[in-house]
Amino acid sequence: MAKSLEVQKAFGWAAKDASGILSPFHFSRRENGDEDVSVKILYCGVCHTDLHSCRNEWGNAHYPLVPGHEIVGTVTKIGNNVKKFKVGDRVGVGVMVGSCMLCEYCNQDLENYCPKIVFTYNSIDKDGTITYGGYADMIVVNQRFVVHFPDSLPADAGAPLLCAGITVYSPMKYYGMTEPGKHLGVVGLGGLGHVAVKIAKAFGLKVTVISSSPGKESEAINRLGAHAFLVSSDPGKMKGAIGTMDYIIDTVSAAHSLVPLLSLLKANGKLITLGLPNKPLDLPIFPLVLGRKLVGGSNVGGTIETQEMLEFCAKHNITADVEVIRMDEINTAMDRLAKSDVKYRFVIDVGNSLYQQ
Amino acid sequence: MVAKLPEKEHPKQSFGWAARDQSGVLSPFKFSRRATGEKDVSFKVLYCGMCHSDIHMVKNEWGSSTYPLVPGHEIVGVVTEVGSKVEKFKVGDKVGVGCMVGSCHSCDNCTNNLENYCPQMILTYGAKYYDGTTTYGGYSDNMVADEHFIVRIPDNLPLDATAPLLCAGITVYSPLKYYGLDKPGLHVGVVGLGGLGHMAVKFAKAMGAKVTVISTSPNKQQEAIERLGADSFLVSRDQDQMQVAMGTMDGIIDTVSAMHPLLPLLGLLKSHGKLILVGAPEKPLELPAFPLLMGRKMVGGSCIGGMKETQEMVDFAAKHGITSDIEVIPIDYVNTAIERMLKADVRYRFVIDIGNTIK
């Protein structure tokens, strides 16, 4: 039984109700325990999940809610049992800060599938308190859930890798979607989609972006290096691409039909869906059966795999395309995010713009 | 140019039963088959299984049927003639033909022994062969097929109860292997206890799985457990039973082709579980994304198997003594059999005794 720890003051921005509007918020975190690492937060990415959570779109918000799970910072304190980190190290914290550490999933470094997973924010921690995320000055995390942040990666543009990066990297490995020369379709060019394009190219895949916005074509091809661009609402173009893709990563979180997407896959093709629409997807069975196709899900990745992903991105110079904002610009950013008006991730410069009142 | 009469199209006389129109009613039909080509194997058909696909096709439920249509793709018999370049078979061998009789032999799928996924795969009946003529299936006295699409039936397997392996058997064997559900100790669910389902139970048990049958019919429980060897039985309409079984299965083979909800089946899976569909409802099903993501679960399909794997499956069945549970019928019972199949009134496959009743 963990002994009850002292608390320390913390400061951040929180949503206070389902309007989702964030404002300054004083709260407390536990003191640094033997297994803990304290992190002064430098940057925190703004994930679409933060938006869903603040506005209680999934019906599970505990207010006040401090979001943020794409955290990069520096270590300020380590517990007595912490050997992997030292004060001053640059580290990252992603989507989870706790798990049971005993079950078959935890034992396979799949803490993200532990039935007792504790998310970085809006989750009930082992001591019964609510977890608060990275839109804050500091965070205290069990060492198991902290990753080294590679020196060669810029902290601001690298922060989104801690959720967006691992969210696309993990299923690409698990479902065997990394064979060089194969053809990947990426549906949706937002936070997840643009990172998927970059990681896929680093694996040597040919990438086609599939999007409902024709205006994104130039970006996709010229800046992100996609090989081709398909406007999903153009039936002629979609028809021409039938049976051409080995894999598809679907990042779209609005409700949509899988019928046209499955037709893009070759036989034995794999479609991974990463978005959480509020209605079920339409799954046509004939093409699944006749072509031995599969549709799979995935949810972030374990800590070890997150570390592996960061090393991979460092090696291949992969970062997110970011728009750095001040903490007090967060509400405007959330409104713009709701309209997909960002290329492609907001990142809060917490270190330089979070001022206590 | 006037199309040739079926009887005159080819040099070899054949006699079978065919559907003439969308009523799907079958009646005697004289037609012909090609002469045995240099790579062909000709055989006298002894038995042919009745697959539910035969019903879909005779009634044109998939919109692709042309008439007259001779169904049947679970065909077994004895070789009567082999072409000059045939290496693997000789007269007198016990052989079978399943769902396909041709493919392109050059695409990625064909090169990987996945002829069943070849875009130019030729179905055993109701399709156009390389020479442009219609293929006719196994509800007939003889059969000719390219050696590549012939399966050897080991001597220790009874021909009648082996016929259904050629479609039902491979249809469940292939996904058990491909999706990694063939490892001993796994817990595999089988939805639907019919032609496909009962074969799935037998194969999964032989592979060392613990098997739970999931069915809407409580009266199938005793059969499932005592005769087929399933370890447990879940009535899918019983919320309490389904609740208790949540998160217990590594994989599920879903053989049901009627519309049905996927959410409860996804709930039965453990994390990383796989729901494999081998029945094909016509309309899309609803796929809730949340359980897929939170448990890294997948939904996949599968369609028969390639020729190499079909032979492997038959050899596996011979080794483990696996055959289908059948009701043998004479050819003139076939229309009644179709009516009974539509009511799922068969345990679990009709097999037509062609050898003794088509003359």
Residue A25's H or E segment, with its range, is strand A22-30
Q: What is the dihedral of CA A219, A223, A225, A230, to 10 degrees?
A: 0
Q: ω before A344 within 30° of 0 (cis)?
A: yes
ipTM: 0.93
Name which of B117, B279, B296 is nearest A268 (Cβ-Cβ).
B117
In this prediction, residue A5 carries a pLDDT of 62
Structural domains present in chain A: 7-162+321-353 (3.90.180.10), 164-297 (3.40.50.720)
pLDDT digits (tens, 9 = 90+) for B177-228: 999 999 999 999 999 999 999 999 999 999 999 999 999 989 999 999 999 9
pLDDT tens, N- to C-terminus, chain A (357 residues): 445 568 999 999 999 999 999 999 999 999 999 999 999 999 999 999 999 999 999 899 999 999 999 999 999 999 999 999 999 999 999 999 999 999 999 999 999 999 999 999 999 999 899 999 999 999 999 999 999 999 999 999 999 999 999 999 999 999 999 999 999 999 999 999 999 999 999 999 999 999 998 999 999 999 999 999 999 999 999 999 999 999 999 999 888 889 999 999 999 999 999 988 888 999 999 999 999 999 999 999 999 999 999 999 999 999 999 999 999 999 999 999 999 899 999 999 999 999 875
In this prediction, residue A244 carries a pLDDT of 97
pLDDT digits (tens, 9 = 90+) for B263-274: 999 999 999 999
In this prediction, residue A310 carries a pLDDT of 98
Interface test with B, best of A292, A298, A305 (most B CBs within 10 A): A292
Phi, psi of B319 (to 5 degrees): -65, -35
| C-alpha distance from residue B352 to each of A220, B76, B105, B158, B288 (Å) | 59, 11, 32, 14, 42
pLDDT digits (tens, 9 = 90+) for B268-310: 999 999 999 999 888 999 999 999 999 999 999 999 999 999 9
Which residues in chain A have their CB less than 8 angstroms from residue B246's CB? none
In this prediction, residue A4 carries a pLDDT of 56
Q: State the pLDDT confidence band at B2, using cuts at 50, 70 and 90.
A: low
Count interface pairs A-B at CB distance under 8 A.
113
Q: Say which amino acid occupies B160.
A: D
Q: Say which amino acid occupies A321.
A: D
Q: Say which amino acid occupies A281.
A: L
CB neighbour burial string for B53-92, b if at least 16 within 10 angstroms, e if fewer: bbbbbbbbeeeebeebbbbbbbbbbbbebbbeebeebeee
User: How far A174 CA sits from the closest chain B CA (Å)?
Assistant: 10
Name which of A268, A284, A296 is nearest B284 (Cβ-Cβ).
A284
Interface test with A, best of B277, B290, B296, B303 (most A CBs within 10 A): B296
In this prediction, residue A357 carries a pLDDT of 57
User: How far A189 CA sits from the closest chain B CA (Å)?
Assistant: 20
Distance CA B64, CA B125 (A): 11
Per the listing, tokens 């008006």 go with A341
Contact B286, B266 (CB under 8 A): no
Give the nearest chain A residue to B263 (CA atoms): A280
Q: Is A178 exposed, middle or buried (0-12, 13-18, 19+ CB in 10 A)?
A: middle
Distance CA A150, CA A152 (A): 5
Interface test with A, best of B292, B297, B304, B309 (most A CBs within 10 A): B292
